[in-house]
Structure 1
Amino acid sequence: APVMMARVNRPVIVPLLGASLGLDSVWISLVFGVCAALEILLVIPAGTLMDRYGRAAVAVPCALLMGAGFILLAILGTTLAGQGTTLAVVALLVPSLLIGLGNGMGAGIVMTLGIDVSPVHDRTRYLAWWNTMLGSGRLAAPLVVTAIALVAPIALAGAATGALCLAGGAWLARTLPRVTPSGSTRRR
């Protein structure tokens, strides 16, 4: 759920923070374009890592990198506000690249984990529950941003999203090695 929340919140928080930094839509769009290119480049390597080294080798860095990116976005968005266009672009681009790196590394991980942990019997019911859980993350994400933005700067919503991702990454690091395949079975 935290990974899904981060994926939903990125296209909400990044443009709002970019606008609060004084960037126009061209700069914000360029940041999104560069990050999208990075994510696309990581799809095949992420799948290879997942198959070779197990699900935790992809899911944990995905959550942790996205969390760190959101925290950095909040920090740079706050400290570099009002410092000019160049520093505003840096404040938006660097953390967005970190978020994009994490998101690209996690390409396909959410549904793969659903299949991995689903029981053989009654799999469709379990996957329906899994999708409902993911949907709750998708629905809660903009509500968290809205609730925080009502009373605090948008950077705090980014920090909250980052904290949720870091907590989710820690939980995944502890849980996934016990419940998912650990890597390639070619050598066995």
Structure 2
Amino acid sequence: MANRSKKVVLSARVDPYLKAALELLAASRKEKIVKVLETFIENGLQDLSVINPFLHEKPRTKISFMNVFIAIWTEDEVLYKVRAGALGPDYAGETLWRQAMVVVGYDYFKGDDDLYGDMNGLTEKWGYKADYNYSLNLELVRSEWSTVEDYVAFIESNKPFEPSYEDYKKMRDQSRAK
């Protein structure tokens, strides 16, 4: 898996006047446009509020999207995706949610590894706790993640046909043996 801590390229089309505004702001601050954009993105994610999936008081409170993200972030791409998806489609989108549900929903992937752990220190700091304590075999999840992704793509493109994960793997193996 690639090292996810390095900078990545993000390509976006913007209106010419926005590019001119970015250039002007960057020049006035003696910064590069990229730095200005990073600041805008981070501030925008911080300002976006979502229902807190980790505190279960009534009524449900809202928190910054970045606080949720910080709680689940890890450089382990598969672990990060399962954590995000297990929060639900409102936080991770339908496809990632379905992928995570395959992992947390089948006894096949059960193990001793706590999916959320201490949420990057936020369990103690802010009292965060996941709705459910998922114990997984993360090595098995990592080794089969591409198969899980393929399975969910297969299910999404072949509705209403929905074999179990185990049946899908058998069908796939049989088709490869021919």
Please give the range of the TM-score, normalised by the shorter of the 2 chains. under 0.3
Larger relative contact order (Cα-Cα within 8 Å, sequence gap ≥ 6): 1
> Larger Cα Rg: Structure 1 or Structure 2?
2
Structure with more strand by fraction: 2
What TM-score, normalized by structure 1, do the two folds share?
A: 0.26
What TM-score, normalized by structure 2, do the two folds share?
A: 0.27
